[in-house]
Structure 1
Amino acid sequence: MFLSRLLDPVKLAAREAGAELWRLYQTGDFQQQQKADASPVTSADLAANSIIIDRLSTIAADIPIISEESYQVPLAQRQNWPRYWLIDPMDGTQEFVARSGDFAVSIALVERGWPALGVIYWPKEDVMYYASRGNGAFKQQHNLINRIHVNTHQAGNILKIAISRRQPLQPIIDLMQHAEKVEYIALGSCSLKSCLVAEGKADCYLRLGPTGEWDTGAVHVIVEEAGGKILDSEFTALSYNQRTTLANPDFMVMGKASIPWSDLVKSRPTERDLSA
């Protein structure tokens, strides 16, 4: 009941932030700069961040917030939180700047270390993906709402792999060396590629390179409620709010459990130091 009461207000917050992103995208009225890690951030990211934090604070003032674009709370302060919001006001800033339109708003609620509610809004297509734990995953486009499921892949069929528009393809090819028939589907935004798996348009998404927990929080519950899994590159579960940094290891968004993923995808040891 608690999650059900939160879902509609969170969807409205995502839609409002997305509307502001789309307005700034269309007008070009934004400024760009680099963060300390050399990744881009724009005034549009910050505008959406402000809207979301304001709305979430109104929805549930007692729930703390972690955002990619806000001050990062030290582990000692946050590690015992029973629940918190985990947000990425604009997932796909590079796509925003490059004018592809493949960017999205991502809002998750994490409870006891695991995502319990997730909302992804794609302004360009007016598409909302959302889920809450135990209640299924859904896609809403305009006023049409459908429950979504991962693809019922059959042995021998072409395996559809979601990939980034802006990362080298060869490392993905190397990891999929045991799959005979592969089709690659390019899309921007980490969360949107994960949602392709959730709705059955792709069978897998392999993410190599830096991401934060805010990149997977919302899609984690959406993918799992659609019948899929998100695991790190050594086939173990991702974790939340357990490390000093909020960096993710390389990870895989996988569809149908009956697909022999451990045979098809070569295990790849984590290269970044994710120690607590």
Structure 2
Amino acid sequence: MKDLENILELARSVGWGATDILSSYYHQTDDKLEVQYKQNEPVTIADVNVNNYILENLQAALGKENFAYISEETYQGEQVQQEWVWIIDPLDGTRDFIEKTGEYAIHIALVQGTRPVLAVVAVPEAEKLYYAIKGGGAFVETRERKTLPLQVSSRERIEDLTLVVSRSHRNERLNYLLQHLPCQNHKAVGSVGGKIAAIVEQRADIYISLSGKSAPKDWDIAAPELILTEAGGEFTHFDGTPLQYNTGDVNQWGGLLASNGQYHEVLCREAEKILAEF
């Protein structure tokens, strides 16, 4: 097993390469980006080509013997048996990519067993790459390779907390919950990676995911989770249990709360109480 620091260096390099490819598609002059739909979710040629780039580069360096690879674009419903699993989303926030909000991201996580130990989240339009190793803190680096440590916010009052919310993934239960929480400052941000970036850069404090007919997938959550927790935040189910990955079901069902950790348990209890009244 290669040293995690060396693997992180590889993942960061791949993340920047993937950033260049995605950004070139995003800024191409003809605005005809062919969009197809897979299970009601949009997929573009950019998703596919970035996915291929990430897989080819990781597999060329690390092989397939000790590592398995689960990617949004290639996943066939299988649970892999290897202890070490790469969980990849080549384009998180495809709708934001298509609609040119700029709020899309690349997620690359390495999971040992069912928990992430290494993560990269690249946000191309911000020209930033966020990364973490379990137990080593979280960092952001710029295109010039300037690196800064990340630390979540601290607010005095629960009412002062700001929630990052989705523009597109909304339903009546989630809207009801958001309307009745004690914190009413809302900021719309695309991509889960972008939402967690807002929290670790102290521009926001809370993100809530509530599954409806569908749920976020492992590749939406794994990399952002580790970056948040290594920056001092928390990311759990409403009942406080930790998230798990590569369990045979890539759906992250139920209520999930990501926060700066300050009022995490209070907000989890409050969310369950509010939803019981819906």
Partner of 1:129: 130
Aligned counterpart, 1:97: 98
Counterpart of 1:2 in structure 2 is 3
**Aligned mates of 2:112, 2:216 — CA distance in 1:** 21
The match for 1:204 is: 206
1:222 aligns with 2:227: yes
Secondary structure (helix, strand or coil) at the match of 2:190 reads: coil
1:1-276 pair list within 5 angstroms: 2-27=3-28, 28=31, 30-35=33-38, 37-61=39-63, 62=65, 63-72=67-76, 74-75=78-79, 78=80, 80-143=81-144, 144-155=146-157, 157-168=159-170, 171-172=173-174, 174-176=176-178, 179-209=181-211, 210-243=215-248, 245-249=249-253, 250-259=255-264, 260-266=266-272, 268=275
Q: Relative to structure 1, is the Cα distance of residues 30 and 5 closer, same or farther in structure 2, using a 3 angstrom cutoff?
A: same
Distance 1:157-1:73 versus aligned 2 partners, 3 A rule: closer
CA distance in 2 between counterparts of 1:195 and 1:170 reads 26
For the residues of structure 2 that align with 1:85 and 1:17, how far apart are their CA atoms?
15
* Amino acid in structure 2 at the alignment position of 1:265: A
CA distance in 2, matches of 1:207, 1:19: 29
User: 1:59-99 CA distances to partner (integer Å, 9 max, x unpaired)?
Assistant: 21131211000142522xx1x31111100000011111111
Relative to the length of structure 1, the TM-score reads 0.88
In the alignment, the residues of structure 1 paired with residue 209 and residue 111 of structure 2 have an alpha-carbon distance, to the nearest angstrom, of 21
Amino acid of the structure 2 residue aligned with 1:254: S
Name the CA distance, whole Å, in 1 between partners of 2:238 and 2:160. 22
- For residue 186 of structure 1, what is the amino acid of its counterpart? A
Q: Structure 1's 141 and 177: CA in aligned 2 closer, same or farther, altered over 3 A? A: same
Task: In structure 1, list runs of 5 or more residues that go unmatched.
Answer: 270-276
TM-score by length of 2: 0.87
- Alignment deviations for residues 208-248 of structure 1 (CA, whole Å, 9 cap, x no partner): 232110111111111110111111233322111113x3111
When residues 13 and 203 of structure 1 are mapped into structure 2, their CA distance, relative to the original with a 3 A threshold, is: same
% identical aligned pairs: 28
Count of residues in correspondence between the two structures: 264
C-alpha displacement of 1:40: 0.6
CA contact 1:161–1:202 (8 Å) conserved in 2? yes
How far the C-alpha of 1:18 sits from its partner, in A, is 1.5
One-letter amino acid matched to 2:134? R
How much has 1:168 moved relative to structure 2?
A: 4.0
Aligned CA-pair RMSD: 2.1
> Equivalent residue of 1:64, what SS?
strand
Cα deviations by residue, 1:15-40 (Å, 9 ceiling, x for unpaired) = 111211111111136321011x1111
2:126 aligns to what SS in structure 1? coil
- The whole-number CA distance in structure 1 between the counterparts of 2:71 and 2:8 is 19
| Deviation sequence 1:147-186 (CA, Å, 0-9, x none) | 1111112125511000012244864453246644421011
